[in-house]
Amino acid sequence: MHPTPSTLTMQAPAREVGIAATVGRTPLIPMRHLARDLPPGVEVWAKAEWFNPSGSVKARPAWNILRTALAAGRLRGKRLLDATSGNMGIAYATFGAALGVPVTLTLPANASPERLAMLRALGAELILTDPLEGTDGAIEEARRLAEAHPDRYCYVDQYNNPANWQAHYLTTGPEILQQTEGRITHFVAGVGTSGTLMGTGRYLREHLPDVVIFAVQPDGPMHGLEGLKHMPTALQPGIYDPAFPDGVIEVPTQAAYAMVRRLAREEGLFVGPSSGAAAWAALQVASQLREGVVVTIFPDGGDRYLSAPFWEEDA
């Protein structure tokens, strides 16, 4: 049985102070040029999550997971441990540095040099895993460490921690509802841990029962879309309910890369490949409508992918 808001007690954050006060309330940006050929009654918007502290959507769940673990006393005398593809780790390290909580992260060795440099600058302890095993390999290593050293590590497990999706139920969903003045008709979000999709989607569906929700994933297990999972072939997060979205859109890696370049050059939006995948999927949904308001999530900016080759036209 997958947890729902009614089966879990959620507490909205008190008024935050310090760096936590800057989490959320990110802008909603229209895609005007890429959507210019759509019918006049169709709008496509993207939530610009790189405006969060730590530069990605992961600031939301990282802060909620961290504050929940602190409140429960789980981090007393221990290091926070989790597996990551990069962005969640940067968020943990950001808040950990601010609060004096030591952070240990397992992540694939082929994470972008920019992400690795940021994590080291923030003081995180890094354990690099086999790049061929992707984030699943990092998850297995985190589980091994947690079992072998229970007195050293507090394994917060973002893939199975309800505080992940609850962060989006409490913040991302309400923000989108308010920013669209309740006009949103379609919500499109990539799935990695699935926290964004599940939490935001649950909130929107409670308030707008007719909203249509799409999950976005790579079109195969071997892909170049960092942060996203091909759910049929990956370790499926416990917080993900495959029956929840109304549909699943599979995105080819090269289509996402091409969209990243178009977003930069036609919209002035400098974003990463998971945002390119989200934009490609959102435009696919919008192209089938005569009227509607499609909202998607751009998880991070392009600055942490500058060394990647996909910025070139022939990538």
Active site residues: 58, 274
Distance CA 116, CA 107 (A): 9
Distance CA 315, CA 312 (A): 5
Distance CA 156, CA 158 (A): 6
Q: In what order do the strands lie in the sheet with 153-155?
A: 125-129, 103-108, 79-83, 153-155
Distance CA 108, CA 90 (A): 14
User: In this structure, what token pair is assigned to residue 27?
Assistant: 């802008």
Distance CA 247, CA 123 (A): 40
Distance CA 43, CA 283 (A): 10
CB 87, CB 115: distance < 8 Å: yes
Q: 231: Cβ–Cβ under 8 A, 6 or more apart, which residues?
A: 191, 215, 217, 240, 242, 248
Sign of the dihedral through C-alpha 163, 169, 172, 175:
negative
Distance CA 295, CA 59 (A): 20
Measured in residues, the chain has a length of 315
Q: Which residue has the tokens 């089966």?
A: 7
Distance CA 281, CA 188 (A): 7
- Name the residue type at position 130: D
